[in-house]
Amino acid sequence: MEAQAEPVNTSSAVEYAGFWIRLAAYLIDVILLAFVSWGIVNVFYFIGMWAWKGQTLGQMITNIKVVRTDGKSCDLRTSALRFLGYIVCGLTLGIGFLIIAFDRRRQGLHDKIADTYVIRV
């Protein structure tokens, strides 16, 4: 067996990365990949369910439904705008969702962006 050559580093001695730093890097990668993959799933789930039924499974169980302010069902465009509004609400650290508690029509920022209401059915 041949001995493995040491990495070439002409300026100073090589410092090898240990277990904990490598584990930390791996966990960061896993979290980022989970966020991306779940994020993709979330996009299709919420937009798809709102456009198809006007409700997610959770909204079906709680007997609430998303409708446009003109009373019509959500279409794909409205559902996509509403989901983009969710992202904006997240960027406001949830303040966009908190608005629901104080708004006369119980609209969050995402509802205002998409021109929707959530109603009881």
Give residue 99's pLDDT. 94
pTM: 0.73
Residue listed under structure tokens 């090898």: 16
H or E stretch including 120? strand 116-120
What local confidence, expressed as pLDDT, does residue 40 receive? 86
pLDDT for the residue numbered 21: 81
Residue-wise pLDDT tens digits, 5-59: 555 555 678 888 888 888 888 888 888 878 778 888 889 999 999 999 999 999 9
Question: How far does CA 105 lie from the centroid of its chain?
Answer: 25
Given this model, what pLDDT does residue 97 score? 94
| Residue 48 CB contacts under 8 Å (≥ 6 apart), including other chains | 79
Report whether 114 contacts 78 (CB < 8 A): yes
Distance of alpha carbon 55 from alpha carbon 51, whole angstroms: 8
Return the closest-CA partner of residue 43 out of 56, 31, 59. Answer: 56
Q: Tell me: the pLDDT tens digits for 62-94?
A: 999 999 999 999 999 999 999 999 999 999 999
Spatial distance between the Cα atoms of 59 and 47, rounded to a whole number of angstroms: 13
Per-residue pLDDT averaged across 102-108, rounded? 94
The 3-state DSSP class for residue 12 equals coil
The structure tokens listed for 1 are 């067996």
Phi, psi of 13 (to 5 degrees): -70, 150
**Residue 61 one-letter amino acid:** I
